[in-house]
A = this chain, B = another copy of it.
Amino acid sequence: MEKVYIENISNFSGTEVTIKGWLYNKRSSGKLWFLLIRDGTGMIQAVVSKGDVDEESFNNCEAITQESSLMVKGLVNPDKRAPGGYELHTKKLEIIQIAEDYPITPKEHGTTFLMDHRHLWLRSSRQYAILRVRQEIIKACRDYLDGEGFVLLDTPIFTPAACEGTTTLFETDYFGSKAYLTQSGQLYNEANAMAFGKVYCFGPTFRAEKSKTRRHLTEFWMVEPEVAFFDLNDNMDLAEEMVIYVVQQVLKNKSEELKTLERDTTFLEKVSKPFPRITYDEAAEILKDKGVDFEWGNDFGGTDETIISENFEKPVFIHHFPSKMKAFYMKRDPENENLALGCDLIAPEGYGEIIGGGQREDNLETIERRLEEDKLPRESFEWYIDLRKYGTVPHSGFGMGIERAVSWICKLPHVRETIPFPRMLYRITP
């Protein structure tokens, strides 16, 4: 008898199969037991009728507890009322292990308790749904970029210098010298783009920020494309197309998961071309109109972003930031030195920035001057300067934070549920 996965159960209608998994829930009605069984690929209801099974199998139904492991043999029967459309008419039920006092019960638990039991919490249907949406988002980013001819090139995690500032870096001893954990693959992406044209990296990045907000993790994943000969507008076009593709793939392939999460998909369905594109000045004007006390030259805070996003039904690009707030590598507007050719993408529904990027400074003298102005050690950036010496070209790129994208698309209250084992200011376990 074939051992099958629940996700494939429709291929076995009318035949006898074996399923191995865990008990999610059970209820009894006299001589009948209804067991909800999960195997990681899906859920199915096993109906156990006293007359159809041996005594041990029937007694096992009484004995079995939530999250006990088991093996069920039975006949796959189509049943419209059943979740998934099929039921298993049980012939035999073997217990692999009884789970005694499984700590996560259907009752309410506090966040700390659930986070302490993250390794088990993952088995709950809500966490299961979120992480399957996460997988779809990651796959959609990769598929989109691969399909457009981008070359995946993994940038290093250990870096000798910082990309932006040094206060938020995790440091490690590297055989007697200091190394830092990367905050972004961008600088290396730029070298790769000069060799491969269209490139991306996709890996974990790290920030030792002492922020305890619903948007911050110390370890988070970013997808970062970088393209030679792209200007700011090309860059926004690329980001727009990638985000649209990602949302469409989730809507298409993860509708069940979105239902589990009770996600109202109205806003997601509106994610289509074109996204509004406003300047920093226009964004500041929106804040002013709404009575926010915002000073020109500052970065937008989380609340500011929410207020700005309320003016739009789609993700909105903000571009042309004051150059003072942007890093040395961001190209200035040739028509106005005070503005930098950066672009952020703000998600709707108050989810804030999910993409940050822009056009890079490609002029040799300018990048040398910027490094000096920012008092950055030139010797650490010689290789980066080389990219402006040997066949420099205009180029642009961006980074999308995966956890923030998952948070928005699933409409979660906190980013901690977007990754299997989140790392935060006060959380490095389990």
Contacts and interface: CB of A to CB of B under 8 A. Distances in A.
Interface of A: 3, 5, 7, 20-23, 39-41, 67-69, 96-97, 99-100, 102, 117-120, 122-123, 127-128, 131-132, 135, 138-139, 142, 146, 149, 151-160, 170-175, 177, 179, 181, 188, 191-199, 203-204, 206, 208, 210, 218-219, 221, 228-229, 382-384, 386-387, 389-393, 419-421, 423, 425-426, 428-430
A390 B138 contact: no
B383 A430 contact: yes
A151 B135 contact: yes
Contact of A154 (B221, B387, B390): B221
B390 A120 contact: yes
Contacts of A97: 391-393
Contacts of A196: 40-41, 122, 128, 131-132
A41 B149 contact: yes
Contacts of A428: 158-160, 174, 177, 179
Contact of A99 (B138, B198, B390, B430): B390
Given A40-B151, A99-B389, A117-B386, 18 more contacts: A3-B229, A5-B197, A20-B229, A41-B149, A41-B196, A41-B197, A100-B389, A119-B191, A120-B191, A120-B386, A122-B195, A128-B195, A132-B151, A153-B420, A154-B420, A160-B429, A170-B172, A171-B172
B119 A391 contact: no
A401 to B, nearest CB: 13
Contact of A425 (B5, B138, B175): B175
Nearest to A362: B97
Given A119-B386, A132-B151, A171-B172, A420 B188 contact: yes
Contacts of A419: 154
Q: Which of A7, A157, A391 neighbours the largest number of chain B CB atoms within 10 Å of its CB? A: A391
| Complex copy number for this chain | 2
Nearest to A70: B391
Given A40-B196, A41-B149, A69 B383 contact: no
Contact of A158 (B102, B218, B221): B218
Contacts of A156: 219, 420-421, 423
A331 to B, nearest CB: 15
Contacts of A170: 172-174
A173 B131 CA distance: 29
16 contacts: A7-B149, A23-B391, A69-B392, A97-B391, A97-B392, A119-B191, A119-B384, A119-B387, A139-B142, A154-B221, A155-B420, A157-B157, A157-B204, A188-B420, A203-B203, A382-B430
